[in-house]
Amino acid sequence: MSGTTDAPPVRRLADWDDGRLTELARTHGTPLYVIDLARIRENCARLRSAFPDADVRYAAKANAAGAVLETVKDAGLGVECASAGEVVRARRAGFPGDRLHYTAVNPPARDLDRVLAIRAEATGLTITAGAVDTLDRLAERGYDGRLCVRVNPGVGAGHHEKVRTGADATFGVPYDRAESVVREATSRFDVVGIHAHAGSGIDADQLDRHRELVARMGALATSLSDIDLEYVDVGGGFGVPYRETEPPLDLSAVAAATRRELADALDDPKGAPNLAVEPGRYVVADAGVLLTEVNTVKPTPGSTVVGVDAGMTDLLRPAMYDAYHPIRPLNGDGEDVPTTVAGPICESSDVFCTDRPLPRVERDDRLAVGIVGAYGYEMASHYNTRPRPAEVAVDGDTSRVIRERETIADVLATEPDTDRP
């Protein structure tokens, strides 16, 4: 089942059914992630329709749950993995080697060794490297297979400075050295592509930066036309509107501009490498909600502080990026009051919103936090010895647990028993 392009371009928090979310929270407890597999199919279908001639690869770091990866695979996308662990997950989900791309940043030795061991039976796996040192380390391990060189295009974009990779020296070989690095690499590897990524959460106001990146990569491909590259990968980062008043990204316009910029930059577009894109957030962000229960209501002179059982260990983005997520009570329609929603972590940064007008709530009410399918569960932690939440996948009328709720015993399981005085 590949989904449909007729679905709305963004699923708002108000589009979720309160009754069903309430029942899921009652059955499975809170905090609880809910991910809608049908919505993921719809997003995949929209991407494939907008980029019909491109190789669309899902960035697994956005949400690497097995059920999500299986859904993406069945929808016809490839997968881009940022770690050996994600490669293992992708293989468990059934991705064949020729749909599997490993794009590491400063990869640890154990990651390289694990991926090369997997590659022995995953024929066609491609490794993307962003440093000459990484190329040397691969060659030292006897690797001579499919290679893509990651380039730093000097163009960054994204919703926050911490996710703008395109101009950060950490990511990719410098643009002015890229041609020579690629040419040298052809003597040691089967060089099949070049890659760049501007950043994450690119909105309509930043599309000029994305187009500039595409143009630079097209010009680089032209200078390497004698090498016969298979593809030019211009990354992903397609934004999703988190605020209710923000319009959805015009994906068709983005795709058209991407193709146009790439074609204009190439000497011979007819014989050009294929286009590849790597969306992550766009595939899963609006397919997820986080459910949490109110445990404390504390009136203060400026705002009502609403304490909930989810915190920054469950959803880090507000604390890390000052990110906005829509929030609403389930089955709540009281008068709006200035509300600060805070978690149970001993940090002043553990808030989901501050002084936001929300309907008045009481203890034991439940809240839904929207647009959390991307970088929600994946960034969860055990800080304060907090177990990670459960995650439930819904698909039409069915639902199933795809990640069990952890216990404190699970958190402590990696610590060896010792004799205690």
Active site residues: 346
Burial of 302 (0-12, 13-18, 19+ CB in 10 A): exposed
* C-alpha–C-alpha distance, residues 231 and 202, integer Å: 22
- Of 87, 146, 95, 80, nearest in space to 113 by CA: 87
User: Amino acid identity of 390?
Assistant: A
* C-alpha–C-alpha distance, residues 184 and 240, integer Å: 39
Tell me how far CA of residue 46 lies from CA of 5, 21, 40, 209, in angstroms: 5, 26, 10, 23
Strand 351-359 relative to strand 336-342, pairing: antiparallel
Tell me how far CA of residue 226 lies from CA of 40, 179, 270, 276, in angstroms: 39, 12, 15, 20
Nearby residues of 180 by Cβ (< 8 Å), 6 or more positions away: none
CA 214, 216, 222, 226 torsion-angle sign = negative
Tell me how far CA of residue 28 lies from CA of 21, 193, 288, 375, 395, in angstroms: 10, 45, 16, 21, 16
- Of 200, 223, 227, 196, nearest in space to 212 by CA: 196
Q: What is the dihedral of CA 253, 257, 258, 260, to 10 degrees?
A: 140
Locus of tokens 């008045």: 360
